[in-house]
Amino acid sequence: MKDTVTLVMIVKNESRDLETCLASVKEQVDEIIIVDTGSTDNTWEIARKYTDKIFTYPWDGNFSSARNYAIGKATGDWLLSLDADEVLLSKPGQLKELISRSTKIDAYMLPLLYPISEETGEYNQFLILRLFRNKKEYRFEGTIHEQVVVHHNEVVDSTTELMIQHNTLSPRERNRKRGRNLAALKKASLLAPQNYFLQYYLGIEWLGLAKPQLALPFLQNAYRQLTDDHLLFRAPALRYLLICLHNLGQLDEMICLSLEAASQYPEYTDVYYLGGIALEEKKEYALAIKWFDQARQGGTPPAMYSHMNGTGSYLALYHMGFCYEKLGLTGPAKDCYERALQENDRYHYPASHLFLLLLKEGSPRTTLAYLQEKGYLNNRRLALTIANLFFMAGYPSLATACLAECSTATEQNDEFLFQLGLYHIYSGRFPGGLHSLKQIPKESNFFPIAQTHQAIALLLTGRFKTCRSLGLQMWKNKSTRITARVILGLTRSLQEGLAADLAATRSEVALINTSLNLLDFCYHYLPDDLDKKSYYHQLVNVLETFLLRTTPGGNQALADYYDGKVNNSRELFAYKFGNGGSKV
């Protein structure tokens, strides 16, 4: 008879994530035990769709106690422990197949994938013990960051066939949990000041809260005091200690630690990558390339090492490209950027450097042709990135062309509609631009800025009455009221031929910044038909007049803005043509 598996969970107010978690595992387990510690949302209703074995546990501040209570209700031969904001990644029947392989194994370490950025596909990977036999000796320990303790290593195995993926947390939720964890860890460490596991976790939480100066002593103690018998903790303590030193700007210490660790853990890819980062920031580009190349050759390290995805592939290649570029070796740099994009086309940062290299070597149109030939514009994320690069470089028409490959897709999300509308407007294709921007729903984060660009399009085309109506709509929204005020002032000035004059108020700084933003948008206007009639020059003149007439603050802000544009032009010229010539 095959062994049975019970999913054991503790939950509190997990209505947002619980269903996704349970759906990922329902076909893999025979029993689901859910212990609620005080939910006030509809967590119970969701749980009832999957099990009738739901229990309550009065919260006592001890995670292990709650989890062990759940274990006490389980009848399965094996136990799988998940949090509500996690999902099990596995094929049908894979979990049962794994536990049937050996009667000598009592527990399995599973990789936990913790996302850094969904957009770019970056994540951290840890091994964590979450699958174990239902025996009395296997219980959770620790009030916070609780763990199942198995005293005999020979009965523990690991697998990469099953994985647990953590959901992406919002910054607010992440900080809330870190604050909660810190409070519990401080309390626990007072009772056990020599517990270096607790010190490791304290360092992690402080580092996560952007307090590296507070994290440093805890991570140093954890790394120095933990031995290789606890490599699952010592390895991440090392990695986070290197990151902590980096955040503190202690690059020499970071390099010394990397050298020491590389000799002790030659398979640990992340050490070479982080050492390369330190050397890169020290402008030791040739040495940095060697370290990044070593990371790339190492690839994904053994599962026992805490690992950041990409350090042995696309991240190392990206930084190698940057270092080659700094050494003036544009050929190898371009090759590295292209290989980085090939290995992870969601990680779009190499595209920016590749774009500038191509623009340096050729014309905007040859750059576009090269990127099209490589197939980068078939990927929506890359196409949006490259289109924005063309737009910021002053080529709105070419930006529009970047999106042509994927503009016929049935699903055009708000970001795509916004960028498509933006580039249409600033290349003088006003009907198409307004059409795209009007499709963005009010609840979208892109809606307010889309309204701003609609207003600019209406001003450029002299549709002042429609623009005034739009400005009044924007006035009703507190977040766009300052912009609406400027838009309405511009409309009146252009329509009636009056000098721009918005009386200075306590919101003077906001008015100045908004006006500068609108002016900057106007300077991106480069219509396909240069003879096409528009109110471009009048609009720029009115904005400049307003800034000059408001207060000395507006006058200075305008001067600083133009100084910045001049400096940017010089830097771009120097990047493309070098710094040749003699100074007289």
Better-scored residue on pLDDT, 35 or 551: 35
Reply yes or no on whether the pLDDT at 504 is more than 80: no
pLDDT for the residue numbered 407 = 66
pLDDT for the residue numbered 537 = 93
Q: What is the mean pLDDT of residues 166-170?
A: 89
d(C-alpha 555, C-alpha 340), whole Å: 45
Residues 6+ apart with CB under 8 A from 464: 458, 491, 494, 495
Q: What is the mean pLDDT of residues 8-23?
A: 97
d(C-alpha 440, C-alpha 413), whole Å: 9
d(C-alpha 366, C-alpha 363), whole Å: 5
Would you put residue 147 in left (φ > 0), alpha (ψ -120 to 50) or beta?
A: beta
pLDDT for the residue numbered 257 = 98
Chain mean pLDDT for the chain? 92
Element (H or E) spanning 206, and its range? helix 196-208
Element (H or E) spanning 290, and its range? helix 285-298
Q: Which residues pair with 307 in a beta bridge?
A: 125
Reply yes or no on whether the pLDDT at 516 is more than 80: yes
Nearest CA among 25, 86, 127, 96 for reference residue 7: 25
Dihedral angle at the C-alpha atoms of 424, 427, 430, 434, nearest 10 degrees? 30
Q: What is the pLDDT of residues 313-351, one digit of tens each?
A: 999 999 999 999 999 999 999 999 999 999 999 999 999
Residue 477 phi, psi dihedral angles, 5° rounding: -95, 120
Residue 227 contacts residue 238 (beta carbons within 8 Å)? no
DSSP states of 38-95? ---SSHHHHHHTT-S-EEE----S-HHHHHHHHHHT--SSEEEE--TTEEEE--TTHH
Nearest CA among 471, 478, 513 for reference residue 492: 471
Nearest 5°: the CA angle 277, 281, 282 is 115
Of 48-52, 277-281, 408-412, 442-446, the least confident: 408-412
Q: What is the mean pLDDT of residues 83-93?
A: 96
Q: What is the β-pairing status of strands 5-11 and 31-36?
A: parallel
pLDDT for the residue numbered 582 = 34
Q: What is the mean pLDDT of residues 151-176?
A: 91
Q: What is the β-pairing status of strands 163-166 and 107-117?
A: parallel
Q: Which residue has the tokens 């840890």?
A: 126
Better-scored residue on pLDDT, 564 or 532: 564
Q: What is the mean pLDDT of residues 39-62?
A: 96
Confidence band of 584 (pLDDT split at 50, 70, 90): very low
Q: What is the mean pLDDT of residues 59-64?
A: 92
pLDDT for the residue numbered 144 = 83
d(C-alpha 294, C-alpha 278), whole Å: 15
Residue 325 contacts residue 353 (beta carbons within 8 Å)? yes
Domain segments of the chain: what residues?
Answer: 447-578
Residue 241 burial (CB count, 10 A): 27
Long-range pairs of 314-317 with CB within 8 A, sequence gap ≥ 24 = 314/339, 314/340, 314/341, 314/343, 314/344, 314/347, 314/350, 315/122, 315/273, 315/340, 315/347, 316/273, 316/276, 316/292, 317/292, 317/343, 317/350
Q: What is the pLDDT of residues 303-316, one digit of tens each?
A: 899 999 999 999 99
Question: Which three-class secondary structure string do you get for 305-326?
Answer: CCEECCCCCHHHHHHHHHHHHH
Of 117-126, 158-167, 200-209, 518-527, the least confident: 117-126
Confidence band of 543 (pLDDT split at 50, 70, 90): very high
Residue 13 burial (CB count, 10 A): 15
Provide the whole-model pTM: 0.88
pLDDT for the residue numbered 583 = 34
Element (H or E) spanning 112, and its range? strand 107-117
Element (H or E) spanning 109, and its range? strand 107-117
Residue 355 burial (CB count, 10 A): 23
Q: Which residues pair with 285 in a beta bridge?
A: none
